[in-house]
Structure 1
Amino acid sequence: MSVTVLQQDLLEAAVTSLPPDELSAVRNAAVASFATNGFPTTRHEDWKYTNLSVAAALSNTWLNDKKAVSKAASVAVDTEILALVDAHWITIENGLIDPASLLKLDSLTKSGITISRLADGVDDGLITFDDPMSAFNAALLQDGLHIKAAKGATLDKPIGMLLIDDGSVAVTQVRTLIEVGPNAKLQIVECSLSAGNDKQFSNAVTQVSLSDHAELDFVRLQQRDRKDLSVNRFETRLQHDSVLHYTNFDFGGELARNDIVADIVGSGASVTLRGLYLATGTQHIDNHTRVDHRVGPATSREEYRGILNGRARCVFNGKAIVHAGADGTDADQSNHNLLLSDKAEIDTKPELEIYADDVKCSHGATVGQLDKSALFYLRTRGLDEDEATQVLTRAFASAILSKLAISEFQDYLATALDKQIDALIDEE
């Protein structure tokens, strides 16, 4: 048996061992779905640069040890973000919702916002798992969040989700359902952290439904320990005149994979996807995006930037598909990468598939090093080589950070980014 294969019998036994609850039917259906495909391998085109064999092996060991039941975190994790970012915070420990943090948000119902646990029940068909890793997530799902904004609902500050894994559970599954009603507006920040001495694998899925004229700003920070693995899937469906602003920042992890999928089914919808990834050592960060323009007119914008040092390897594959009849589509993609080491590697592939006539579409990618003339100028102004490199690298990264719509998170991210850049430059 290939090491990239997750043992189906172990998965089935683990699911059977979980106590019956409102998610039992979902888990059973997901197990059957996962059996069809299993873990993706590098033979799959979308996964040709990213090898999940370590994640599969870790999952097999974990399932064989019969530890599928999650438990709350027992190791302290640095949670200064709770004090520094003003938000309605919910804590998710090892894939389980912290009841106390959820209880504090009951008052949001007065503003038309309801937040509940998936373990308490969810309507049939809301939890989907067409993707193999999404099926793996649903097969072992024990809890999750369901965030609903009623028609016209707004909040005074963002909803915050703090995901903490402490190493006591080797593999965690997190799922969030977000429904934004007509004319409602939400801001959500998500921060994924980890601690502990053992390698961990986090597999997270977020499903978003945007009604007519709805708007969602979503910012995700992945700052897990450098030994850890993570797969994150974010999928959304946009109706008439709805707006999505999505930004992900990847700073941590041994391996991090993001799949961002936007399905535009209503005219006038607008999607903006942005990302910033910093990698050094032997880190591997992979961003795959897909935007389906099924109707027009509609707009999509993608901008991803990467800063690589050491022997890091990163991947960007962005695909925009303009379907037949989606006239008036305006789609643009860009991917820019800064290599601070001649051993770092980037695989970039922005793609367009166009099956309509009246469209405006463009894409481009750049890979380069710091401008030597700019470095020389800064050196003449009294900066040493590291300081000059830091100035230019921050300027490159600020193109993403400065466009954040959630100001409450921007200052925290700016500080985190400065620390990350300093560490990246200092590392050989």
Structure 2
Amino acid sequence: MSQRPARPPLLESLLEAPLPEGVAWLDAIRRENHEALLASGLPDSRNEAWKYTALRALSQRRFQPGDTEAATRRIDAGALALPGIDGPCLVFVNGVFRADLSRLDDLPDGLEVLPLSRALAQDDEPLRFALSHRYRDVADAFAQLNAAYASEGVVLRVAAGAKVASPVQLRFIGTVAADIAWHLRHMIALGDGATLDLIEHHLGLDEAQQLATSMADIVLGEGARLRLTLLQQAGAGTSLIRRTGLQLGAAAHAAVYAIELGGGLVRHDLQADLKGDHARLDTRGVFALRGRQHVDTQLAIRHDALATASESTWRGVADQRARGVFRGAIVVAEGADGSDASLSNKNLLLSPSAEIDTKPELEIYADEVKAAHGATVGQLDDRALFYLRSRGIPLAEARTLLTAAFCRAVLAELPVEALRDHISDLLLAQLPADPSA
């Protein structure tokens, strides 16, 4: 009889931890996802969804479940604040909700924000549908892990017609503790005609060596408006695996800005389903990588209704031995007649050892559709460099100016000027002083 292959140290260490318990129906879902992960294991490069992101090194590491001191670790919340952002804020440290660092007093009318653990304790039934997903594909290994072990996260609801004036910030901080794993699950719902600005900020302190998974389900009712800014500055030794799912109702509009700057191994699956007629999605994203960073963005947009629209503009920069991956897939389903979809992905290599893999995909099953996609990987424009040098600008400075302008193009529509300037400065700091070095 053939022996079953040994599970890698990563899964051995993660799956030996006891599953959270409390709500009967949720406990059953946890067990099913746990068993599915035991059966399928981790994906490898033969799996198309993970073709460019090898998990060999991560699979050989071991992690402890959670940080027993997370509730008392000292954090200077003021020093971490984003400029121009003063509204409600939920803070999690190493996966643990910190009421002492959060701002949840005096919430505006129509806005409900609370940690998942509290929402489950108050009334679990409204969360049943969102938390009952059973993942079966090996490509969903980290979704299985999250569904099995996440017991904390964010529940955010905006009532129909409510206009939330101040941005709401969700801040996830990894700090101090090494070789720990934590998992968060988020449910966000905007009622019909509701409006919300939401900022998701991942921040790493003290070179934390961690594995974190995060999953968010976001539902927009008819005519709802969401502006979502995703700022990722995880620690250099952190492996961060995220999944963000968007569902848009009729005439809803979501604008997503994704900025990837940190992390050692980062994966973000951004999935959007335009379910209602005339729904619209705009996505803007950029990664700026150096050292041996690896960032993989998987963008999947599905047009499922009449006259839906999506426009996506993504930029990437890789220096030294960094590697960036971008897959942009658009599906215009049968019956989604009159849809308009476009995707552009442009990338710069600043070092001969850097690598960027880009894969645009387009499938159309409807009539009278406008669709376009394109992707490029190249180097700085010699003519633009010559022009700047002819104006007396040194070569190193000219390279930096052009690279920064290339990245900042996706930030122009961010509404808060102070935040936009702050993110621009972060991008500039991430770029090499001399990209030719």
Structures share fold, TM-score greater than 0.5: yes
Aligned partners of 1:85 and 1:412 also within 8 Å? no
Aligned partners of 1:319 and 1:350 also within 8 Å? yes
Q: Are residues 388 and 115 of structure 1, via their aligned partners in 2, closer, same or farther at CA, if it must alter by over 3 Å?
A: same
The alignment status of 1:43 with 2:46, answered yes or no, reads: yes
Q: 2:143 aligns with which of 134, 138, 156?
A: 134
CA distance in 1, matches of 2:73, 2:227: 32
Q: Are residues 24 and 72 of structure 1, via their aligned partners in 2, closer, same or farther at CA, if it must alter by over 3 Å?
A: farther
Report the equivalent of 1:71: 70
SS where residue 431 of structure 2 aligns? helix
Report the equivalent of 1:150: 159
Tell me how far 1:57 sits from its aligned partner: 3.1
5 Å-filtered alignment, 1:3-18, equals 6-7=10-11, 11-16=14-19, 18=20
Q: 2:401 aligns with which of 388, 391, 401?
A: 391
The alignment status of 1:328 with 2:338, answered yes or no, reads: yes
SS where residue 38 of structure 2 aligns? helix
The alignment status of 1:347 with 2:357, answered yes or no, reads: yes
Q: Tell me the alpha carbon deviations over residues 126-147 of structure 1, each in whole angstroms, 9 at most, x when there is no partner.
A: 1235333222112111211100
Aligned partners of 1:232 and 1:257 also within 8 Å? yes
The alignment status of 1:288 with 2:298, answered yes or no, reads: yes
The alignment status of 1:96 with 2:99, answered yes or no, reads: no
Report the equivalent of 2:33: 30
**Farther off after superposition, 295-304 or 177-186:** 295-304
The alignment status of 1:261 with 2:259, answered yes or no, reads: no
CA distance in 2, matches of 1:7, 1:419: 36
Tell me how far 1:387 sits from its aligned partner: 0.8
Percentage of pairs with the same residue: 32
Aligned partners of 1:242 and 1:270 also within 8 Å? yes
Aligned partners of 2:351 and 2:435 also within 8 Å? no
Q: Tell me the alpha carbon deviations over residues 55-81 of structure 1, each in whole angstroms, 9 at most, x when there is no partner.
A: 3333xx225xx6576733626478634
SS where residue 107 of structure 1 aligns? coil
CA distance in 2, matches of 1:177, 1:256: 22
Aligned partners of 2:117 and 2:151 also within 8 Å? yes
The alignment status of 1:246 with 2:256, answered yes or no, reads: yes
Tell me how far 1:15 sits from its aligned partner: 2.6
Report the equivalent of 1:112: 110
CA distance in 2, matches of 1:3, 1:320: 35
Q: Are residues 129 and 163 of structure 1, via their aligned partners in 2, closer, same or farther at CA, if it must alter by over 3 Å?
A: farther
Q: 1:162 aligns with which of 171, 175, 181?
A: 171
Residue 112 of structure 1 aligns with an amino acid whose one-letter code is G
SS where residue 272 of structure 1 aligns? strand
Tell me how far 1:245 sits from its aligned partner: 0.7
CA distance in 2, matches of 1:21, 1:426: 54
Tell me how far 1:153 sits from its aligned partner: 1.0
Residue 115 of structure 2 aligns with an amino acid whose one-letter code is R
The alignment status of 1:124 with 2:128, answered yes or no, reads: yes
Report the equivalent of 2:85: 86
**Farther off after superposition, 193-202 or 174-183:** 193-202
Report the equivalent of 2:413: 403
Q: 1:237 aligns with which of 226, 232, 247?
A: 247
Tell me how far 1:302 sits from its aligned partner: 1.3
SS where residue 31 of structure 1 aligns? helix
Q: 1:201 aligns with which of 195, 211, 235?
A: 211
Report the equivalent of 1:54: 57
Tell me how far 1:11 sits from its aligned partner: 4.5
Tell me how far 1:357 sits from its aligned partner: 2.1
CA distance in 1, matches of 2:358, 2:343: 12
Residue 62 of structure 1 aligns with an amino acid whose one-letter code is F
Tell me how far 1:359 sits from its aligned partner: 0.7
Q: Are residues 326 and 4 of structure 1, via their aligned partners in 2, closer, same or farther at CA, if it must alter by over 3 Å?
A: farther
CA distance in 1, matches of 2:23, 2:369: 49
The TM-score normalised by the length of structure 1 is 0.90
Q: Tell me, which stretches of 5 or more residues in structure 1 are unaligned?
A: none
Tell me how far 1:52 sits from its aligned partner: 2.2
CA distance in 2, matches of 1:185, 1:407: 19
CA distance in 2, matches of 1:136, 1:70: 22
CA distance in 2, matches of 1:93, 1:420: 24
Q: Tell me the alpha carbon deviations over residues 147-200 of structure 1, each in whole angstroms, 9 at most, x when there is no partner.
A: 000001122210011110114262121222110000001001111111235521
Tell me how far 1:356 sits from its aligned partner: 1.3
Residue 105 of structure 1 aligns with an amino acid whose one-letter code is L
Q: Tell me, which stretches of 5 or more residues in structure 2 are unaligned?
A: none
SS where residue 205 of structure 1 aligns? strand
Report the equivalent of 1:356: 366
Q: Tell me the alpha carbon deviations over residues 27-73 of structure 1, each in whole angstroms, 9 at most, x when there is no partner.
A: 33432343343322222101011012333333xx225xx65767336
Q: Tell me the alpha carbon deviations over residues 1-40 of structure 1, each in whole angstroms, 9 at most, x when there is no partner.
A: 46757536x5554134x46468645533432343343322
Tell me how far 1:403 sits from its aligned partner: 2.2
CA distance in 2, matches of 1:24, 1:99: 26
SS where residue 147 of structure 2 aligns? helix
